[in-house]
Amino acid sequence: MTEIGFYHLTRTPLDRALPKILEKALEAGKRAIVIAGSDERVAVLNAALWTYDQGSFLPHGTVREGEAARQPVWLTAEDENPNGAQIVVLTDGATVSEMAAFERCLDMFDGNDPAAVAAARDRWRAAKAAGHALTYWQQTDGGGWAKKDV
């Protein structure tokens, strides 16, 4: 069963936190897909991945670049897995219909938005009821992540 980690953004916005998460996935030899809530959000995240660090390159693509199967990181607003990702990153409350297709799911939500927090709690309860192994991560003051007991 897919392990689901809930990532509570409290210090930095998604577009600044996401690159480090994706770097770790690639370092582990995994492919990732980021499913956003809209095409506009995909464009923002795409731009962020190109510009977050001048000394780094994080290979990724979107439908605009094409060749999904060749991309180790794919950004989309669709419920799909065209790059054969093992890790799915859900943003903006996005969901996937085939959770079992992934080894790991990262559900990232904005802790400064009460509606996003409430929706994440609902997703947590549903995932727990479905029998998934769950972890909860909260941003540290330095922008890293600390696993919390819940």
Indicate the domain borders of the chain. 3-144
Rg (CA), the chain: 14
Q: What is the mean pLDDT of the chain?
A: 96
pTM of the shown model = 0.96
Q: What is the pLDDT of residue 138?
A: 96
What DSSP string runs through 21-75? HHHHHHHTT--EEEE-SSHHHHHHHHHHHHHS-TT-----B-TTT--GGG-SEEE
Whole-angstrom Cα distance, residue 10 to residue 116? 12
Among 61-65, 132-136, 141-145, the minimum mean pLDDT is found in 141-145
For the chain, report the end-to-end CA distance as a whole number of angstroms. Answer: 20
25: Cβ contacts below 8 Å, ≥ 6 apart: 31, 32, 73, 87
CATH class of segment(s) 3-144: alpha beta
Q: How many residues does the chain have?
A: 150
Q: What is the pLDDT of residue 57?
A: 87
Whole-angstrom Cα distance, residue 37 to residue 92? 5
Tens digits of per-residue pLDDT, 2-12?
A: 999 999 999 99
Tens digits of per-residue pLDDT, 56-99?
A: 889 999 999 999 999 999 999 999 999 999 999 999 999 999 99
In percent, the amount of the chain with pLDDT more than 70 equals 100
